Copies of this chain bind each other. A is one copy, B any other.
Amino acid sequence: MGSDTSAQDQTVSEAGEFGLIQRVTSGRAQPAATLLGPGDDAAVLAASDGRVVATTDVLVEQVHFRLAWSTPHQVGRKAVAVNLSDLAAMGAVPTGLLVGLGCPPETPTSVIDELSAGMWEEAQRVGAGLIGGDMVSAPALTISITALGDLQGRTPVTRSGACPGDVVAVAGRLGWAAAGLAVLGRGFRSPVAVVGAQRVPEPPYAAGPLAADAGATSMIDTSDGLLADLGHIAEASQVGIDLRDELIEVPQRLTEVASALGADARHWVLTGGEDQALAATFPPDQPLPEGWRAVGAVVEGSGVTVDGATYEGSSGWEHWR
């Protein structure tokens, strides 16, 4: 490493593993739940509920994100968001995150700095800390995050408790990330509203614990798309789910974008993933909690239908498929 290389211009190879860890962790304020933060063999996190909720999601460059389309800061936020929304879908509040980061030796340290700043920003939106991690050499930028959460006394809401007669409801945006992906895929960079939604989701974090408090019988985050993820609930609960077409809101903005691209906005809403909305089922005849809107009902049978009919078209994302 030349003596004229400033800290900003360094590659991760020049900074070294320990220097990088220092850059990512130093000067960051940890929330009260972090009893012991980064820098030791392991972190210690409060789990006053006597249980801990845990989930892992891995994002790989060129598979889950492109640095030509998103800044490292946006990728960092998204990597954290997709994990936090899994906690919300159980009815839990996030407490801590561990980050396993792999990157090629020639990666500029500025990429790691921005990535970690994005992670911290998203984590701090929900009061969670980055409590630990690992940094290794890898052929592609690989971000493996484990998110830990606190149920605060709630019963975890699984995918398997939906009963015929329950109301099916959603919280958060649907179809926006798919619209953004379609725009980016055609080489455009706007409208910003949909492109931004593809770059960084806005999961309705608070809606998860609210749904659990309201007695939600099942819940999932819609990372694979509404129909596909409701299909997971239907399968796990051994029920059918029938959406009512008139309740499926197609935002005017998505209709405009679809019109410009010759695409179908309703298809984005029903099948687009990556918005990290929440879908849940609730007992009938009671008000839905704040932020939730009804889209259908749980029925006897199996599978997911719209107004009683099978929806034609792709229904979700599966790796290697």
Q: Tell me the A residues contacting B by CB distance below 8 Å.
A: 11-18, 35-36, 39-60, 63-64, 86-87, 89-90, 92, 96, 98-102, 105, 131-140, 142, 144, 146-149, 151, 156, 158-160, 219-221, 236, 318-321
- Complex alpha-carbon distance, A146 and B137, angstroms: 18
A58: chain B residues within 8 A (beta carbon): 100-102, 134, 136, 138, 142, 144
Copies per complex of this chain: 2
Q: Which of B15, B54, B59, B236 is in CB contact (< 8 Å) with A43? A: B54
- Complex alpha-carbon distance, A124 and B59, angstroms: 28
Subset of 27 A-B contacts with CB under 8 Å:
A12-B320, A13-B321, A16-B320, A16-B321, A17-B321, A18-B318, A36-B158, A40-B90, A40-B158, A40-B160, A42-B86, A42-B149, A43-B55, A44-B151, A44-B156, A45-B52, A45-B53, A55-B98, A57-B100, A58-B101, A58-B144, A60-B138, A98-B146, A102-B144, A135-B319, A138-B140, A138-B142
Q: Is the CB of B140 within 8 A of A98?
A: no
Closest-by-CB residue of B relative to A56 is B98
Q: Is the CB of B148 within 8 A of A16?
A: no
Q: Which of B14, B57, B138 is in CB contact (< 8 Å) with A134? A: B57
Q: Known contacts being A44-B156, A89-B42, is A148 close to B319, with CB within 8 Å?
A: no
A55: chain B residues within 8 A (beta carbon): 41-43, 98, 132
- Complex alpha-carbon distance, A15 and B318, angstroms: 11
CB distance from A152 to the nearest CB of B (A): 13
CB distance from A221 to the nearest CB of B (A): 6
Q: Is the CB of A156 within 8 A of B320?
A: no
Q: Is the CB of B47 within 8 A of A52?
A: yes
A134: chain B residues within 8 A (beta carbon): 56-58, 144
A136: chain B residues within 8 A (beta carbon): 58-60, 63-64, 319
- Complex alpha-carbon distance, A149 and B133, angstroms: 15
Q: Which of B40, B50, B133, B156 is in CB contact (< 8 Å) with A50? A: B50
- Complex alpha-carbon distance, A318 and B135, angstroms: 10
